[in-house]
A and B are shown apart, each in its own frame.
Chain A
Amino acid sequence: MTKRSVHLTVNGVDHNLDIEPRVLLSDALRHDVGLTGTHVGCEQGACGACTVIVDGRAQRSCLVLAVQADDAHIETIEGVATQGLDHAVQTSMHEQHGLQCGFCTPGIVMSLVAAHRAGVDVETAKDTVLDGHLCRCTGYVNIRAAIDAAWSTAGGDT
């Protein structure tokens, strides 16, 4: 019940929040930090829309209490493109029409960006990583095509 101070580094920027321990990281990012690109679809960890990168690993922000992420380095969808340059995943998702309503998209991009950086191979990205996400619009076909494209562009290895 007593508020706690929580220090989050989000997309390289420090934030000091004073929040209740029960506040979910997804809500802290959206409403206290003010980055609404991370979306909330279920608050059960089932849909993946809220996925962000915490200390290098893709995780469900709806299943993390913000206080648990004290001093963590968090990356959200807003921080993926660097200096105006899109990540290969963002470019490919656009070119392959891997999004329709866009609501599940930020979570998928974060999972794929984390996987891409970690050198996960393309087949694992298309099953193990992508199976952690629900999309109701695309039927996944074009998202898999986007993964193929992103992994095969220069800099996307394995």
Chain B
Amino acid sequence: MKPPPFDYADPETLDEVLRLLAEAGDDAVVIAGGQSLIPLLNLRLARPEIVIDPRRVAELSSIDFGERGLQAGAMARAIDVEEHPDVDQIAGLSTALGHIGHIQIRARTTIGGSVAHADPAAELPALLVALGGEVVLQSAQRGARTVAADDFFIGPLMTVREPDELLTSVWFPAHNGAVTVVEVAKRPGDFAMVGAVVGYGVANDVVVDPTIVLFGVGGRPVRLPATEAILSGAAPDQDTFAAAKAHMLDNVEASGDAHASADYRRHVAATLVERALLELS
């Protein structure tokens, strides 16, 4: 199908973007890469009055790798981050990015767009939660606020972002230890039926800073603090990882849909996590 009619604005300053957003509120959508929005427009499932495009606001495309982490402007393209020489400073980031769609999609997908869109099967939101990252939201009326990733996501395609707020940047903290992203999809590049971001460090021969976040199992990324607690301070070995898996099998809640049943998701999530833990050791 073709998109329904809408107005379009591509202002040159962030202030102007925010002003338009405040004015239009629920009637507006912000277009970043468009790789999630335009499919919705093309099915007429999204019917905005106005599409606001921040592409001319140069500062929103910044990519800053520092010792403590990556500060990515919302409009930074996934491919530009993926190909950045410093991308491996953020554990798991390169792997997560590589799972997003296909390389031709990543040529337009933005970091901010992917996070703001909050697809329950998406990798970047899960990675952000796993790393304990943050987003910055800005509005004309109330200025900027920082929201922890875990507080940002509410449910499928739902976040705490107010209609008059723009997500302007994403902070990926560097993690102590290795991180990997694993998933099961019908084909490479498809939405994950179930996936996990798994990471931990090792200090004094025990696991420290474990992080396990599932995606594709419910409406938003699901952190597993109880499973992480099993790993914390334990030896990074097969027995520990098997215990983590067993705990997950008994406790993880997943939802079922046309693509995968709850049972499948729960079991496979546990299997994926165990394998990821082994892979990282």
Direct contact of A and B (CB under 8 A): yes
The CB with the most chain A CB atoms within 10 A, among B35, B98, B187, is that of B35
Contact with A along B30-48 (1 / 0, CB 8 A): 0100110011011100000
Given contacts A20-B5, A22-B5, A131-B188, contact A48 B31 (CB under 8 A): no
**Residues A68 and B105 in contact, CB atoms below 8 Å apart:** no
Query: Which of A2, A20, A64, A132 is the one whose CB lies under 8 Å from B38?
Result: A64
Which residues, 1 to 57 on B, are CB-close (under 8 Å) to A?
Answer: 1-8, 10, 31, 34-35, 38-39, 41-43, 51, 53, 55
Is B102 a contact of A24 with CB atoms below 8 Å? no
Residues of B205-240 contacting chain A, CB below 8 A: none
CB pair B104–A58 under 8 Å, yes or no, is yes
Counting contact residues on chain B (CB < 8 A from A), the size range is 20 to 34
The answer to the question of B163 belonging to the interface, with a C-beta cut-off of 8 Å to chain A, is no
How many chain-A residues does the 8 Å CB contact rule pick out? 31
Contact status B42-A1, CB under 8 Å: no
Contact partner, A4, options B5, B8, B103, B189, Cβ 8 Å: B8
The answer to whether A45 touches B31, judged by C-beta atoms less than 8 angstroms apart, is no
**Chain A: minimal CB distance from B16 (Å):** 16
> With an 8 A cutoff between CB atoms, is B117 at the interface?
no
Are B42 and A43 neighbours in the complex by a CB distance under 8 Å? yes
A59 within 8 A of B: yes
User: Does A111 lie at the interface of the complex (its beta carbon under 8 Å from any beta carbon of B)?
Assistant: yes
Q: How far is the CB of A78 from chain B (nearest CB, A)?
A: 19
Contact residues, A20-46 vs B (CB, 8 A): 20-22, 24, 27, 43-45
**Residue pair B35, A45 in contact (C-beta under 8 Å):** yes
- Secondary structure at the A interface, as helix, strand, loop or mixed, is mixed
Give CA–CA (A61, B55) in the complex, Å: 17
Contact B55 A22 (CB under 8 A): no
Known A-B contacts A111-B104, A128-B103, A132-B102; the reply to A63 vs B34 at CB < 8 A is: yes
A64-B10 in contact (CB<8A): no
Which of chain B's residues have a CB closer than 8 A to the CB of A116? none
In the bound complex, what is the Cα–Cα distance between A68 and B55 (angstroms)? 8
- Tell me if B's interface is mostly helix, strand, loop or mixed: loop
Bound complex: CA of A20 vs CA of B51, how far in Å? 12
Residues on the A chain within 8 Å of B1, using CB: 43
Of all chain B residues, the one with the shortest Cβ separation from A129 is B103
Contacts of A129 in B (CB 8 A): 103
Question: Is A57 an interface residue when CB atoms closer than 8 A count as contact?
Answer: yes
Residues of the A chain whose Cβ atoms lie less than 8 Å from the Cβ of B69: none
Check A64–B108 contact: CB distance below 8 A. yes
Nearest CB of A to B29, in Å: 12
- Is B101 in contact with chain A by the CB < 8 A criterion? yes
Q: Does A144 contact B (CB under 8 A)?
A: no
Give the complex CA separation of A54 and B55 in angstroms.
15
Give the residue name and chain of the B residue nearest to A63 (CB): B38
The answer to whether A58 touches B105, judged by C-beta atoms less than 8 angstroms apart, is: no
What is the interface of chain A, defined by CB distance below 8 A to chain B?
A: 1-2, 4, 20-22, 24, 27, 43-45, 48, 51, 54, 57-60, 62-65, 67-68, 70, 111, 127-129, 131-132
Complex A-B, nearest 3 residue pairs according to Cβ-Cβ distance, in ascending order: A132-B102, A21-B8, A22-B3
Show 7 residue pairs from A and B whose CB-CB distance is below 8 angstroms, ordered by the A residue: A45-B35, A60-B108, A63-B38, A65-B38, A67-B8, A127-B188, A132-B101
Residues of B within 8 A of A (CB): 1-8, 10, 31, 34-35, 38-39, 41-43, 51, 53, 55, 79, 98, 101-105, 107-108, 187-189
A65-B51, A67-B8, A132-B105 known; 15 new pairs, CB 8 Å cut-off, are A22-B5, A22-B8, A24-B42, A45-B38, A54-B107, A60-B35, A60-B105, A60-B108, A62-B42, A63-B38, A68-B31, A131-B187, A131-B188, A131-B189, A132-B103
